[in-house]
């Protein structure tokens, strides 16, 4: 929800951002045990080439279709991704 408080989202509707797209993480990935992977951070992949520059959807994800018109974009949602880390021994 930090992303939404910062004004970021994965999709926009009537100029309101939402966090519709999510990644679910099991409880075991929330524990930081040495040698095991753990959840570090989630991101919204909202690079400029995925964003509309003009028109009524300016600032929104560049959609593939607008009604019956092919726009050539990727999606009306920004993708999300997660970073996992693994803590190892200092001498490895």
89 pLDDT exceeds 60? yes
**How far are the Cα atoms of 2, 3, 22, 41, 69 from residue 11, in angstroms, in the given order?**
15, 12, 12, 20, 20
Count of domains for the chain: 1
pLDDT tens digits for 13-51? 998 999 988 888 888 888 888 788 999 999 999 999 999
> Is the full-model pTM beyond 0.85?
no
Domain range spanning residue 26? Answer: 2-86
Q: Is residue 21 part of a domain?
A: yes
Q: Is residue 91 part of a domain?
A: no
Q: Is residue 24 part of a domain?
A: yes
Q: What DSSP state is assigned to residue 3?
A: H
Give 61: exposed, middle or buried? Use CB within 10 Å, 0-12, 13-18, 19+.
buried
DSSP letters for 20-36: -------GGGGS--TTS
């Amino acid at each position: 929800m930090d992303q939404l408080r910062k004004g970021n989202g994965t999709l926009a509707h009537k100029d309101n951002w939402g966090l519709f797209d999510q990644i679910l993480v099991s409880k075991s990935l929330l524990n930081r045990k040495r040698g095991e992977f753990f959840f570090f951070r989630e991101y919204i992949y909202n690079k400029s080439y995925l964003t509309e520059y003009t028109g009524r959807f300016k600032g929104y994800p560049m959609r593939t279709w607008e009604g019956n018109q092919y726009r050539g974009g990727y999606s009306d949602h920004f993708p999300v991704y997660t970073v996992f880390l693994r803590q190892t021994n200092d001498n490895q």
